[in-house]
């Protein structure tokens, strides 16, 4: 009889993998390297997240700042759920983001990605020059030309995500996140929900929301649909160490294990271009210095040219 148990367990796991609903980041039959078997878009050429390489971005001064409306304090009831993959807050349709091209997007939900596995604490999805931040927040919007998120999610120009990276250092407590973080205790198990009131998403973003990286990509979880206009803010959100720890250690997955390392690896850029609406100051300065040095050398050459010529003529005589 005992010999049957492992077999039964295998059959059970096999059946579940076939149903395909239980994708994971790093364990089981449908970890992130296998997503494309059940969700073909995950193997596409315009996937997210990506590494944002500052030396390869294209500065586009005509990219206007995002217009965020309804992001400030709103009374109301905002459900916050443990969906087995992350902590997610439902957002009201009065929250909107207008992109540089004038397209208006309606907010749907926000959720988080983090690390926390013992040897590896960082868990942002986008990296900057290869550096992974501690965590990342995604505010998911859909194009207002569609009647609902459900329709927009499969349309080619359906979605836009405003992302911000979270940095943890010896900072003081970020009080704009206190309620959210304390409520994590109430959604410990998958399927549990709680309600937030007086949500102020503007406060939960970095002070500078002007400067961003932007590119066309995909959802970072199955089905990985390639219809997301990404806006990754250049400035990070700051958490205290205690807040970072609580984010990483408060909620559980479907196996009642703490949700750790819930982020997707960076995907190939292929032939996409990442644009920014800010100048990359440190690099920009060194480029400028290089330019000045070159210019200086040229002037030096020009100045000494008549003398060289004279010297040459003299020599020929």
Residue 5, helix vs strand vs coil? helix
Minimum distance between the CB of residue 258 and ligand NAG, rounded to whole angstroms? 12
Whether 85 is catalytic is: yes
Residue number with CB closer to ligand NAG (86 or 267): 86
In this structure, the number of other CB atoms found within 10 A of the CB of residue 14 comes to 10
Residue number with CB closer to ligand NAG (189 or 291): 189
- Structure-token pair, residue 310: 């004279």
HSE-up of residue 157 (Cα within 13 Å, Cβ side): 9
Which residue of the chain is nearest ligand NAG when measured via CB?
Answer: 256
DSSP tally for the chain: helices H, then strands E: 7, 16
Residue 134, helix vs strand vs coil? coil
State how far the Cα of 46 lies from the Cα of 142, in Å rounded to an integer: 18
Minimum distance between the CB of residue 263 and ligand NAG, rounded to whole angstroms? 23
Minimum distance between the CB of residue 249 and ligand NAG, rounded to whole angstroms? 16
Contact footprint for ligand NAG (CB under 6 A): 189, 255-256
Minimum distance between the CB of residue 190 and ligand NAG, rounded to whole angstroms? 9
Annotated catalytic residue within 19, 85, 113, 210:
85
Closest Cα partner for 203 from 262, 144, 137?
137
Residue number with CB closer to ligand NAG (254 or 310): 254
Residue number with CB closer to ligand NAG (84 or 206): 84
Rounded to a whole number of angstroms, the distance between the first and last alpha carbons of the chain is 109
State how far the Cα of 178 lies from the Cα of 42, in Å rounded to an integer: 35
Residues forming the active site: 85
């Amino acid at each position: 009889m005992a010999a049957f148990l492992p077999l039964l367990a295998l059959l059970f796991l096999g059946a579940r993998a076939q149903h395909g609903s239980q994708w994971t980041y790093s364990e089981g039959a449908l970890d992130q390297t296998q997503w494309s078997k059940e969700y073909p878009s995950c193997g596409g050429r315009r996937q997210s997240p990506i590494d944002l390489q500052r030396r390869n971005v294209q500065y586009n001064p005509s990219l206007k700042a995002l217009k965020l409306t309804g992001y400030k304090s709103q009374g109301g009831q905002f459900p916050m759920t443990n969906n087995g993959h992350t902590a997610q807050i439902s957002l009201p349709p009065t929250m909107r983001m207008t992109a540089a091209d004038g397209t208006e997007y309606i907010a749907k939900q926000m959720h988080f990605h983090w690390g926390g596995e013992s040897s590896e604490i960082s868990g942002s999805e986008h990296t900057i020059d290869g550096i992974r931040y501690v965590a990342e927040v995604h505010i998911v919007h859909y194009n207002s030309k569609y009647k609902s998120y459900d329709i927009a999610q499969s349309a080619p120009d359906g979605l836009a995500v405003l992302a911000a990276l979270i940095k943890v250092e010896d900072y003081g407590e970020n009080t704009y996140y206190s309620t959210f973080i304390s409520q994590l205790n109430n959604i410990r198990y998958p399927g549990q929900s709680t309600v937030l009131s007086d949500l102020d998403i503007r406060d939960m973003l970095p002070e500078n929301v002007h400067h961003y990286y932007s590119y066309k990509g995909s959802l970072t979880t199955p089905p990985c649909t390639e219809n997301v206009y990404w806006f990754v803010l250049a400035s990070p959100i700051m958490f205290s160490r205690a807040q970072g720890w609580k984010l990483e250690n408060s909620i559980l997955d479907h196996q009642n294990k703490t949700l750790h390392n819930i982020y997707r690896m960076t995907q190939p850029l292929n032939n996409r271009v990442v644009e920014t609406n800010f100048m990359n100051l440190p690099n920009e300065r060194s480029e400028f210095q290089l330019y000045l040095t070159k210019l200086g050398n040229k002037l030096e050459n020009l100045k000494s040219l008549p003398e060289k010529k004279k010297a040459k003529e003299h020599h020929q005589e």
